[in-house]
Amino acid sequence: MPSLKDLTRRDVLAGIGAMTCTLALPFPASGRSRDSGVVRESTEKSLREHASRRGLLYGAAAGKAILTGNKALADLFVEQCGIVVPENDLKFKHVHPKPDEYDFSKADWLLDFAESHDMKMRGHTLVCHEFLPDWFDDVVNESKAQRRMEEHLTRVMHHFAGKLHSWDVVNEPLEAESWREDGLRDSPWLKLLGPDYIEKAFHIARDADKEALLCWNENRIQNEDPPSTRKRTLFLKWLRDLKRRNVPIDAIGIESHLTADGSPVAGENFKRFLREVADLGLKLLITEMDVADDSRPKDVAVRDRAVAQLYYHYLHTVLKQKNVIAVLNWGLSNGTTWLAQSKARADAAPVRPLPFDDQMNPTLAFKAIARAFDKAPGR
Ligand code: G3I
């Protein structure tokens, strides 16, 4: 059974051959050294290049702490990404730690990193049921909620106005198992402002930044189980209603945290959902993609193949829609992924949900993503 370090270029190529999809082989004959001193096999084309040849943006989530602490990872972002998104640094509690105090230092650093390496940056996230600071409950009540929301969005968005590609204005407002007819998740914003908090947020956001694409970011959209199907139906209802009333929403984000456990994703109902989103004139972004491997056997080759197959199947399906403009992974290297904690394996083996391993070598997932980009229609 190969260990992580034993997985050579030949293993990667052999694994690719075993995938159900036929994948081209863009690895050059020799590896090359990187500034960081890490030696790894490199590729002829980065994911950024594979994507941009089809008019797509490719990128990943990161933060000041992980990029300043890991030069090899920072170099990998520069090489592979056309867009970056802060995984945590722009969340309410981080950027607004006290009622009258904002801290943009980490997100500013990331924007500077992005701009100085010709990358775009997107904003994540403004209004969410989570990520609220400790002071929130003490300070925000029904009479102050609207003003507090306006103040937070306006201050944060003005700070970056004209500089960000897009913003997750609302994050995960729906819940698959919601008892409500409208599918809304229990959230402080819902309790304080009622269901209108969603459209209020979009209007405030448009006033604060005329250029960024304004997105509704949502999770668990791709599965074929009944709660996910219901969620898609209710999501579409919301989107139709917002568009009909000229609420300034430009795009939806489909997070796409997938699990390689064999459960069906991206089936017919999901495809119909994608087409109906396109018919509404909305753009679509894959905002947080990764593939959890915790249900798969320990053997790295077996796991990597399952993860790569799911990447390919999912992206190949989604990218047929020409309104999809960007694909972002939630992290770039397996060395820094939230799944290491949240979907840790019972056998304690490191998880492998992303296109690069912890030594910044491309995994089979890299190949699958590149191949899905190559097969996608241009836009
Ligand atoms: O802040 C401490 C830090 O000081 C300490 O060094 C570190 C050690 O583990 O823990 C720290 O904070 C953690 C933070 O991630 C940074 O690693 C928090 O405890 C942890 O809760 C936080 O988790 C993040 C989670 O959102 C909650 O904010 C994950 O990194 C992040 O990947 C995840 O991202 C969400 C998206 O925003 C929305 N969609 C789902 C996605 C996954 O849950």
Asked if the model's pLDDT at residue 6 lies above 60, the reply is no
> What pLDDT does 42 receive?
57
> What pLDDT does 41 receive?
53
Q: Which atom of ligand 1 approaches the CA of 131 most closely?
A: 28
Cα–Cα dist 213/180, whole Å: 29
338 lines ligand 1 (CB under 6 A): yes
Question: What residue's CA is closest to ligand 1, atom 14?
Answer: 88
Per DSSP, the three-state class of 125 is strand
Q: Which of 24, 19, 59, 37 is nearest to 359 (CA)?
A: 37
Q: Which atom of ligand 1 approaches the CA of 125 most closely?
A: 37
- The rounded Å distance from CA 338 to ligand 1 centre is 7
Cα–Cα dist 69/84, whole Å: 17
pLDDT digits (tens, 9 = 90+) for 73-111: 999 999 999 999 999 999 999 999 999 999 999 999 999
Query: Which of 66, 68, 70, 87, when mutated, tests ligand 1's pocket best, judged by the most ligand atoms within 8 Å of its CB?
Result: 87
The mean pLDDT value for 126-134 works out to: 97
Write down the mean pLDDT value for the chain: 91
- 196-226 in b/e burial notation, b at 16+ Cβ within 10 A? ebbbbbbbbbbebbeebbbbbbbbbbbbeee
Residues with active-site annotation: 172, 288
Asked if the model's pLDDT at residue 31 lies above 60, the reply is no
pLDDT band at 223 (very low <50, low <70, confident <90, very high): very high
Cα–Cα dist 284/270, whole Å: 13
199, 245 contact by CB (below 8 A): yes
Q: What separation in angstroms does the CA of 58 have from each of 47, 276, 335? A: 7, 24, 19
- The rounded Å distance from CA 177 to ligand 1 centre is 24
Share in percent of the chain as helix, strand, coil (round to 5)? 40, 15, 40
61, 288 contact by CB (below 8 A): yes
Asked if the model's pLDDT at residue 348 lies above 50, the reply is yes
Amino acid making up residue 304: D
Question: Based on the number of CB atoms within 10 Å of its own CB, is 260 exposed (0-12), middle (13-18) or buried (19 or more)?
Answer: buried
Amino acid making up residue 177: E
Reading the block at residue 230, the tokens are 């219901």
Strand positions, DSSP E, 80-235: 83-86, 120-121, 123-128, 166-171, 213-218
Q: Which atom of ligand 1 approaches the CA of 63 most closely?
A: 16
The mean pLDDT value for 23-30 works out to: 35
Q: Which of 130, 220, 241 is nearest to 176 (CA)?
A: 220
Asked if the model's pLDDT at residue 5 lies above 50, the reply is no
Asked if the model's pLDDT at residue 64 lies above 70, the reply is yes
The per-residue DSSP string of 279-298 comes to HTT-EEEEEEEEEE-TTS-S
- The rounded Å distance from CA 81 to ligand 1 centre is 21
- Reported pTM: 0.91
- The rounded Å distance from CA 369 to ligand 1 centre is 25
> What pLDDT does 27 receive?
38
> What pLDDT does 239 receive?
98
Question: What residue's CA is closest to ligand 1, atom 29?
Answer: 338
Query: Which of 67, 337, 338, when mutated, tests ligand 1's pocket best, judged by the most ligand atoms within 8 Å of its CB?
Result: 338
Per DSSP, the three-state class of 78 is helix
The mean pLDDT value for 278-305 works out to: 98
Question: What residue's CA is closest to ligand 1, atom 22?
Answer: 88
pLDDT band at 305 (very low <50, low <70, confident <90, very high): very high
Q: What separation in angstroms does the CA of 89 have from each of 58, 111, 153, 276? A: 20, 11, 15, 33
Neighbours of 299 (CB within 10 A): 12
pLDDT digits (tens, 9 = 90+) for 166-193: 999 999 999 999 999 999 999 999 999 9
> What pLDDT does 44 receive?
72
- The rounded Å distance from CA 79 to ligand 1 centre is 25
> What pLDDT does 219 receive?
97
